[in-house]
Chains A and B, each alone.
Chain A
């Protein structure tokens, strides 16, 4: 059986844990039906309760997966809630970082500690797993040795509106449902994704030049540079709270605006190298990784 590690980053600078019990839930593990019922609650996205829903859904669906939850650094009350859940529900590793850090730094810490695994799953802390999409993904990895990264569909409940097909630097035409099999989606938002561990080994981890945003724009190029492929898995579904992301909001904590110019410079350079036929793993490593 394949060894799989899943990384869930938590980070909230906003204290929602004391909202008078509107969205609270037990610290013990909830069954799937109760988690899914909580998605109907307009306050169901409050932290840390949403984090617990996400964690429980993963463990309910795939108890065999090594789950690592890393927090850098939410409010003290959120951390206290996570600690209680970790003690009472258990079944996963909980790492607390003392400083706010890039989630990709945390990603790479988890990668290094679990490098012997066959697959690495990244799952945002507001993503719920209603079913075992990972089993479908591993079937595809076993069938196709070139496959490096798979993205399940992510929706907020309406199957006609997948939300992980991002505006890309090369194309803004959406994939119209029911999914043009050759839809142009070189960029997929990293709500949830699964990597063959060999991909991460090839590059020595996940790109860390950006703090949170932009990195997924390079994944298709990274796959191509090692003769691999990156695909969408329409028969794998996950739930995500809301259709959009908050990266571009004013006052965003994700450094979107601060790093946007750097992104434009790097993507321009990478696209030119790809067009000229000189894009290699070494070029991408130099552009996308800090020492």
Chain B
């Protein structure tokens, strides 16, 4: 057997990762291609489980995915948004950091292609950046994090009901923002791998990636850049 595979299997023999992709009824073939590649590559390393939760409500889907992961005895849950493109080795890129919460973000689907998320000030420890808030395009979470949170883990309450957000607004909080707020209040840090983030595409009519000017401080991500 391949020695790299043997080494990785031994290293991660106690990690049971559930891959969760909440979605509505239909998903994009570009996403499913990435998902199949990731599962195919990582089945030989991890004890992988799958959790596809389907409804029109993202909060319900995410909460159900956590429960399913728990019922499967997962040590980690990898949330992947169903409009993401990602490399097959993305899970390995995240799990090697051995952090409670570490993910990769993607860009907004506009011309500027800025990263989604709000970093903490001065939080870059390349390639990791501590985040105040980030989305879930590709997010790895150790399951014990959820043990420290109240249910429902994901919700979309009105902003005015969350004093710490210090906002008077009729808008609701995004379920990812709500979760980030609560885990940080529980003492956890949220980390974003900026190098991997350059490889996470946001699927729309085409697939958009974070623009170069937003990752210029990472020399290593320039490998594939044109002159």
Contact A182 to B223, CB < 8 A, known contacts A269-B5, A272-B5, A274-B89: no
The tally of CB-CB contacts under 8 A between chains A and B is 99
Residues in B121-154 with C-beta less than 8 Å from chain A: none
**Complex contacts, A202 vs chain B, CB 8 Å:** none
Q: Is B224 in the interface zone, CB < 8 Å from A? A: yes
**B93 to A273, Cβ gap below 8 A?**
no
**B201 to A173, Cβ gap below 8 A?**
yes
**B226 to A271, Cβ gap below 8 A?**
no
Q: Is B164 in the interface zone, CB < 8 Å from A? A: no
Residues in A65-94 with C-beta less than 8 Å from chain B: none
**B4 to A186, Cβ gap below 8 A?**
no
Q: Mark B158-180, 1 if CB is under 8 A from A, else 0.
A: 00000000000000000000000
**Complex contacts, A233 vs chain B, CB 8 Å:** 226-227
Q: Is A145 in the interface zone, CB < 8 Å from B? A: no
Cα–Cα, bound, A273→B88 (Å): 12
Instruction: Kindly specify which of B19-27, B49-57, B74-82, B203-211 makes contact with the partner chain.
Output: B203-211
Cα–Cα, bound, A105→B30 (Å): 38
**A278 to B7, Cβ gap below 8 A?**
yes
Residues in A130-176 with C-beta less than 8 Å from chain B: 140, 150, 170-173, 175-176
**Complex contacts, A275 vs chain B, CB 8 Å:** 87, 89-93, 96
**Complex contacts, A229 vs chain B, CB 8 Å:** 222-223
**B224 to A185, Cβ gap below 8 A?**
yes
**B2 to A182, Cβ gap below 8 A?**
no
Please tell me which one of the listed residues B89, B96, B224 contacts residue A271 in the complex, with CB atoms under 8 A apart: B89
Q: Is B8 in the interface zone, CB < 8 Å from A? A: yes
Instruction: Tell me the nearest residue of chain B to A187, going by C-beta.
Output: B224
**A271 to B87, Cβ gap below 8 A?**
yes
Q: Is B61 in the interface zone, CB < 8 Å from A? A: no
Query: For chain A, which range describes its interface: under 10, 10 to 19, 20 to 34, or 35 or more residues?
Result: 35 or more
Cα–Cα, bound, A181→B216 (Å): 12
Q: Is A231 in the interface zone, CB < 8 Å from B? A: yes
Q: Is B199 in the interface zone, CB < 8 Å from A? A: yes
Q: Is A230 in the interface zone, CB < 8 Å from B? A: yes
Q: How many Å from the CB of B14 to the closest CB on chain A?
A: 16
**Complex contacts, A232 vs chain B, CB 8 Å:** 224-227
Please tell me which one of the listed residues B201, B206, B210 contacts residue A176 in the complex, with CB atoms under 8 A apart: B206
**B224 to A283, Cβ gap below 8 A?**
no
Q: Mark A247-275, 1 if CB is under 8 A from B, else 0.
A: 00000000000000000010011011111
**B92 to A272, Cβ gap below 8 A?**
yes
Q: Is B212 in the interface zone, CB < 8 Å from A? A: yes
**A220 to B5, Cβ gap below 8 A?**
no
Residues in B63-114 with C-beta less than 8 Å from chain A: 85, 87-93, 96
**A140 to B227, Cβ gap below 8 A?**
yes
Q: Is A113 in the interface zone, CB < 8 Å from B? A: no
**B206 to A182, Cβ gap below 8 A?**
no
Instruction: Tell me the nearest residue of chain B to A153, going by C-beta.
Output: B226
Contact A271 to B209, CB < 8 A, known contacts A179-B226, A181-B225: no
Cα–Cα, bound, A232→B222 (Å): 11
**Complex contacts, A278 vs chain B, CB 8 Å:** 4, 7
**A182 to B209, Cβ gap below 8 A?**
yes
Q: Is A24 in the interface zone, CB < 8 Å from B? A: no
Q: Is A244 in the interface zone, CB < 8 Å from B? A: no
**B4 to A269, Cβ gap below 8 A?**
yes
25 contacts between A and B (CB under 8 A): A150-B227, A170-B87, A170-B199, A171-B87, A171-B199, A175-B226, A180-B209, A181-B212, A182-B198, A184-B201, A185-B224, A186-B224, A224-B220, A232-B225, A233-B227, A265-B2, A268-B41, A269-B2, A271-B87, A271-B88, A272-B5, A272-B89, A272-B92, A276-B11, A277-B96
Known: A272-B8, A274-B89, A277-B96. 15 other contacts (CB 8 A): A171-B85, A181-B212, A224-B220, A232-B226, A234-B226, A268-B41, A269-B4, A271-B41, A271-B88, A271-B89, A275-B92, A275-B96, A277-B93, A278-B4, A278-B7
Binding site for A on B (CB under 8 A): 2, 4-5, 7-8, 11, 33, 41, 45, 85, 87-93, 96, 198-199, 201, 206-207, 209-212, 215, 220, 222-227
Q: Which 10 A-B pairs have the closest CB atoms?
A: A275-B89, A275-B92, A182-B212, A232-B226, A271-B89, A275-B93, A276-B92, A273-B4, A269-B4, A173-B207
